[in-house]
């Protein structure tokens, strides 16, 4: 029994968390004949502690999954951690204050593996603390052997399907992380920069150009003006001399030169930006690399060789000024492409990179996305927009240390690609030998291992297989396609898109039926970030208010909507939980002598109340079926505070204290049924508190080991007529209460009540209960009024 003021949520949470784990309450049942509901759980990126956004979105998916479990599904809800690749590398570099590129690959991998071993249990604990109901035994890490095998298999399969290409071409490159990056990893950012006007010489005369990137001068190959720009027509066919570097480039006409931008003259360096690369191809201009893979100036840069990009820019501007080539300097803000992981400006660098060729499938991709059930619907636009804006095949090779290796070697003599055998996976080509003695093409005996690693999304996009393949063969078939992919909207273009595309390419079908997309968590409408200093730590919130209260807040936002962290909503959750515990205590006190049997005759009023409950169950169930958990929560919350606490408990108090026989039993039966239903419907939202109450009283009658594996309340056909009478009763009681307040009388003041004829007719069979709750000694027909005695 719960004693008053004995509500220690920390103790309660810990007790049930341990109970759930020990009793394997959330275990996927391998042998069950029940229908399966399978979830492609997002594996959180191991990059520190759980943040408030994850606390919100994982809670939201957990509401849905707990509902499904109570609806009788055999729920497959695995858990994984995404701990391969760049995010983890950067975390390890930061924590250990090292640079991976400055140590050997083996040394660094060991550092990462040791780090993960130590950090992971604590990292995962946050998810357990917030009450996520995964089957923790179905666990994968995206760097473990199992995941490496599947990821490498994916590469081999796509290679055999003709989708993998190794290209030696300019590709997007992050000079900070020193790796090729994919289009999806690039984002726009406004950064402060400098626009400089620089003098070029044409036949000894000045030609002024404006640029933000004078450090690319050593790679200049041409200058362009627009064919409609009369100012420069006379320059056609002439040559311009680039200052500081002994370079002469042709002056050419092209539509892509914008007369409005700067002076209307654009200079082209081979890998400056997209347009530069288009020009290079269109006019067959020479290829010059000013920036190397180490992010430094190449030997083309003369005295600036070896400098970092920004440093070189500064020096070159200084020298232009000194030698009189600089006309104007203007500070500006401009939009550039940056690497989303580190915020560094993206460069185009010519290098050998592996691509997954898929640009030819854009039309198909739109169709595949259209086959999914999107919750909420509008999220599909984000997917469509991403597909329509695709310009690059997927660059999947990263020049990093810690990740899944390519299962690939090259013949030293002829460059032939040698693939690993499927049965040998996973392989590490640096340590393992290729499966052939001689090159099948040239007979060569020496091989070079691929030292790049697969991009982290290449592995996490296999998440359905990473989880399912932990099961036996016959289960694997039943689990795929999965029922649900829950995730946040910021990774639609990363994770959702890539998983979908890979599933189609590998298996010819979509990986899931439904996708449920959650929003971002903001603070006062703003995105939280370290630099703004507006970060809320979920761990601190849980420490102060408890996990259930935090989940209560997460349930207040509609699916897919960005939502604010609101402490008042967490406090509301805390209040709700306390009230639920107190109301339960009252109920159990009055059920002590109850024999658990249904009364022969149910009091009419109790019937009315149960009908109101029936409607709430129906509405909640319907909302949950559409993944609208916030609507469901709101409905139960209102019902609990209003109908249950404010009215029903008050109405039956007298009957339960003083009543006898069936009249009392009827109230006891109704209390039992309604409180149990409220608990069950709240169980997905506040799993700890509801378990506490269930175990304290209901379990001995209900027999289910945990409320979370008990069945969801059932509803019957609605009886609108009955529900209307309940509404009327509430209306009258509320009016009496108002009258008492107005007359400054206590709520238990005796009175004579007069109610309208129509009301009287409807309520004639519940007058005794109405009298009890309003302390009316007499109830008369007529114009509404309360007379105090
Ligand atoms: Zn970077
Ligand atoms: Zn060869």
Give the other-Cβ count within 10 Å of 429's Cβ: 20
Between the CA of 333 and the centroid of ligand 1 the distance, in Å, is 21
What CA–CA distance (Å, rounded) separates 777 from 215? Answer: 94
Phi and psi angles of residue 384, each rounded to the nearest 5 degrees, phi first:
-60, -45
Counting ligands in written order, which one lies closest to the CA of residue 181? Answer: 1
Tokens of 78: 């695995």
What integer pLDDT is reported at residue 109 of this predicted model?
85
Between the CA of 340 and the centroid of ligand 1 the distance, in Å, is 7
Between the CA of 186 and the centroid of ligand 1 the distance, in Å, is 9
Between the CA of 615 and the centroid of ligand 1 the distance, in Å, is 54
What's the average model confidence in pLDDT over 349-366? 94
What CA–CA distance (Å, rounded) separates 569 from 552? Answer: 7
Whether the CB-CB separation of 639 and 678 falls below 8 Å is answered with yes
140-156 tens-digit pLDDT: 999 999 999 999 999 99
What CA–CA distance (Å, rounded) separates 757 from 737? Answer: 20
Gyration radius of the chain over CA positions: 34
Tokens of 37: 């509901």
Counting ligands in written order, which one lies closest to the CA of residue 439? Answer: 2
Tokens of 747: 């709520």
Between the CA of 177 and the centroid of ligand 1 the distance, in Å, is 4
Between the CA of 406 and the centroid of ligand 2 the distance, in Å, is 19
What CA–CA distance (Å, rounded) separates 771 from 786? Answer: 12
What CA–CA distance (Å, rounded) separates 325 from 321? Answer: 6
Between the CA of 414 and the centroid of ligand 2 the distance, in Å, is 4
What's the average model confidence in pLDDT over 388-409? 93
Between the CA of 185 and the centroid of ligand 1 the distance, in Å, is 9
Between the CA of 412 and the centroid of ligand 2 the distance, in Å, is 7
What's the average model confidence in pLDDT over 56-72? 97
Query: Please, what's the b/e burial string for 745-764 (b: 16 or more CB within 10 A of its CB; e: otherwise)?
Result: eeeebebebbbeeebbebbe
467-505 tens-digit pLDDT: 999 999 999 999 999 999 999 998 999 999 999 999 999
Q: What is the DSSP string of 184-202?
A: GGEEEEEEEEEEEEEEEEE
Tokens of 220: 């200049």
Between the CA of 292 and the centroid of ligand 2 the distance, in Å, is 28
The residue among 416, 102, 400 whose CA lies nearest residue 408 is 416
The residue among 167, 291, 272 whose CA lies nearest residue 221 is 272
What's the average model confidence in pLDDT over 392-413? 94
What CA–CA distance (Å, rounded) separates 671 from 662? Answer: 14
Counting ligands in written order, which one lies closest to the CA of residue 413? Answer: 2
Q: State the chain's mean pLDDT as an integer.
A: 93
Point out the least confidently predicted range of 238-242, 273-277, 674-678, 688-692.
Answer: 273-277
Give the other-Cβ count within 10 Å of 53's Cβ: 22
Half-sphere exposure of 293 (CA within 13 A, CB side): 14
What CA–CA distance (Å, rounded) separates 457 from 479? Answer: 22
In whole angstroms, how far apart are CA 393 and each of 165, 172, 353, 510? 10, 11, 11, 20
Between the CA of 160 and the centroid of ligand 2 the distance, in Å, is 19
256-315 tens-digit pLDDT: 999 998 899 999 998 888 888 888 888 888 888 898 888 889 999 999 999 998 899 999
Between the CA of 371 and the centroid of ligand 2 the distance, in Å, is 45
Between the CA of 437 and the centroid of ligand 2 the distance, in Å, is 11
Its sign, for the CA torsion 391, 392, 394, 397, is negative
Query: Please, what's the b/e burial string for 689-718 (b: 16 or more CB within 10 A of its CB; e: otherwise)?
Result: bbbbbbbebbbeeeeeebbbebebbebeee
This prediction's pTM: 0.88
The residue among 778, 252, 251, 154 whose CA lies nearest residue 501 is 154
**Whether the predicted pLDDT of 2 surpasses 60:** no
Per-residue DSSP letter, 483: E
Counting ligands in written order, which one lies closest to the CA of residue 186? Answer: 1
349 alpha-carbon distance from chain centroid: 32
Between the CA of 148 and the centroid of ligand 2 the distance, in Å, is 27
Between the CA of 352 and the centroid of ligand 2 the distance, in Å, is 18
What CA–CA distance (Å, rounded) separates 111 from 402? Answer: 10
What CA–CA distance (Å, rounded) separates 470 from 775? Answer: 65
577-619 tens-digit pLDDT: 999 999 999 999 999 988 888 889 999 999 999 999 999 999 9
724 alpha-carbon distance from chain centroid: 42
Counting ligands in written order, which one lies closest to the CA of residue 445? Answer: 2
The residue among 340, 331, 344 whose CA lies nearest residue 291 is 344
pLDDT band at 6 (very low <50, low <70, confident <90, very high): low
What CA–CA distance (Å, rounded) separates 568 from 574? Answer: 10
Between the CA of 96 and the centroid of ligand 1 the distance, in Å, is 18
Across the strands, what pairs with 787? 752
Between the CA of 419 and the centroid of ligand 2 the distance, in Å, is 13
**Whether the predicted pLDDT of 1 surpasses 70:** no
Count how many residues are written for the chain.
Answer: 789
Between the CA of 338 and the centroid of ligand 1 the distance, in Å, is 8
In whole angstroms, how far apart are CA 377 and each of 112, 370, 383, 384, 632? 40, 10, 11, 12, 19
Whether the CB-CB separation of 197 and 326 falls below 8 Å is answered with yes
- Mode of pairing for the β-strands spanning 521-523 and 526-527: antiparallel
What CA–CA distance (Å, rounded) separates 713 from 289? Answer: 68
For 385-451, strand residue ranges (E) read: 394-395, 397-398, 404-405, 408-411, 417-419, 447-449
Which residues, including other chains, have CB under 8 Å from residue 138's CB and lie 6 or more apart?
Answer: 28, 76, 77, 78, 79, 467, 470, 471
What CA–CA distance (Å, rounded) separates 12 from 3? Answer: 13
Run of H or E residues at 327: strand 326-339
Counting ligands in written order, which one lies closest to the CA of residue 436? Answer: 2
- Mode of pairing for the β-strands spanning 247-253 and 220-225: parallel
What integer pLDDT is reported at residue 745 of this predicted model?
93
What's the average model confidence in pLDDT over 20-47? 95
Q: Over 418-437, what HEC string results?
A: EECCHHHCCCCCCCCCCCCC
What CA–CA distance (Å, rounded) separates 462 from 501? Answer: 10
**Whether the predicted pLDDT of 541 surpasses 50:** yes
What CA–CA distance (Å, rounded) separates 275 from 221? Answer: 13
């Amino acid at each position: 029994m719960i004693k008053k003021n004995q509500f220690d949520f920390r103790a309660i949470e810990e007790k049930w968390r341990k109970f759930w784990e020990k009793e394997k309450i959330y275990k996927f049942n391998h042998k069950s004949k029940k229908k399966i509901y399978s979830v492609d759980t997002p594996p959180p990126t191991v990059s520190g502690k759980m943040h408030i956004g994850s606390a919100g979105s994982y809670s939201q998916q957990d509401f849905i999954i707990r509902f499904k479990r109570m609806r009788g599904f055999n729920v497959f809800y695995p858990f994984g951690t995404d701990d391969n690749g760049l995010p983890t590398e950067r975390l390890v570099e930061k924590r250990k204050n090292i640079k991976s590129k400055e140590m050997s690959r083996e040394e660094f991998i060991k550092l990462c593996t040791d780090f993960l071993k130590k950090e992971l249990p604590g990292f995962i604990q946050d998810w357990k603390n917030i009450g996520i109901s995964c089957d923790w035994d179905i666990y994968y890490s995206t760097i473990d052997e199992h995941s490496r095998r599947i990821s490498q298999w994916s590469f081999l399969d796509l290679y055999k399907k003709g989708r993998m290409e190794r290209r030696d071409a300019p590709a997007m490159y992050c000079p900070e992380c020193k790796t090729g990056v994919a289009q999806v990893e690039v984002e726009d950012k406004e950064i402060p920069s400098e626009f400089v006007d620089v003098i070029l010489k044409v036949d000894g005369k000045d030609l002024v150009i404006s640029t933000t990137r004078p450090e690319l001068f050593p790679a200049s190959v041409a200058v362009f003006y627009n064919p409609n720009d009369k100012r420069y027509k006379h320059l056609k066919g002439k040559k311009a001399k680039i200052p500081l570097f002994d370079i002469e480039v042709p002056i050419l006409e092209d539509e892509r030169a914008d007369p409005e931008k700067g002076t209307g003259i654009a200079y082209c360096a081979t890998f400056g930006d997209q347009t530069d690369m288009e020009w290079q191809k269109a006019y067959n201009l020479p290829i010059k690399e000013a920036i190397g893979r180490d992010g430094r100036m190449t030997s083309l840069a003369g005295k600036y060789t070896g400098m970092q990009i920004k440093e070189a820019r500064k020096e070159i501007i200084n020298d232009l000024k000194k030698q009189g080539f600089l006309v104007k300097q203007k500070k500006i803000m401009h939009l550039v492409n940056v690497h989303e992981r580190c915020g560094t400006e993206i460069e185009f660098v010519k290098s050998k990179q592996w691509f997954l060729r898929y640009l030819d499938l854009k039309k198909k991709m739109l169709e595949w996305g259209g086959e999914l059930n999107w919750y909420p619907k509008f999220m599909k636009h984000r997917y469509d927009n991403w597909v329509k804006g695709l310009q690059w095949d997927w660059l999947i090779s990263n020049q990093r240390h810690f990740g899944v290796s390519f299962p690939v070697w090259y013949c030293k003599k002829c460059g032939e690609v040698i693939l690993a055998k499927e049965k040998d996976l996973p392989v590490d080509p640096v340590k393992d030998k290729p499966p052939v003695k001689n090159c099948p093409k040239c007979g060569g005996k020496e091989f070079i291992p691929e030292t790049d690693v697969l991009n982290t999304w290449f592995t996490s996009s296999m998440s359905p297989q990473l989880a399912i393949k932990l099961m036996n063969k016959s289960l694997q078939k039943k689990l795929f396609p999965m029922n649900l992919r829950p995730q946040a909207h910021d990774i639609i273009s990363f994770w959702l898109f890539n998983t979908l595309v890979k599933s189609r390419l590998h298996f010819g079908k979509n990986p899931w039926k439904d996708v449920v997309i959650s929003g971002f968590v903001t603070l006062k409408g703003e995105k939280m970030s370290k630099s703004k200093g507006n970060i809320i730590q979920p761990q601190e919130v849980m420490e102060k208010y408890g996990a259930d209260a935090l989940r209560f807040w997460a349930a207040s936002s509609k699916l897919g909507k960005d939502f604010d962290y609101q402490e008042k909503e967490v406090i509301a959750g805390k209040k709700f939980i306390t009230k639920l515990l107190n109301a339960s205590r009252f109920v159990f006190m009055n059920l002590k002598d109850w024999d658990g049997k249904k009364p022969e005759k149910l009091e009419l009023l109790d019937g009315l109340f149960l009908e109101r409950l029936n409607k709430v169950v129906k509405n909640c169930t319907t909302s949950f079926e559409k993944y609208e958990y916030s609507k469901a929560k709101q409905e139960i919350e209102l019902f609990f505070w209003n109908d249950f606490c404010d009215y029903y408990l008050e109405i039956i108090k007298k009957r339960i204290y003083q009543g006898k026989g069936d009249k009392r039993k009827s109230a006891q039966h109704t209390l039992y049924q309604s409180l149990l239903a409220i608990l069950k419907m709240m169980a997905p939202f506040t799993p700890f508190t509801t378990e506490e109450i269930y175990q304290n009283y209901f379990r001995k009658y209900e027999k289910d080991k945990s409320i979370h594996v008990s069945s969801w309340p059932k509803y019957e056909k609605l009886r609108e007529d009955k529900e209307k009478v309940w509404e009327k009763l509430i209306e009258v009681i509320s009016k009496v209460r108002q009258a008492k307040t107005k007359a400054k009388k206590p709520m238990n003041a005796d009175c004579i009540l007069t109610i309208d004829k129509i009301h009287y007719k409807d309520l004639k069979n519940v007058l005794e209960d109405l009298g009890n709750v309003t302390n009316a000694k007499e109830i008369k027909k007529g114009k509404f009024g309360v007379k105090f005695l």
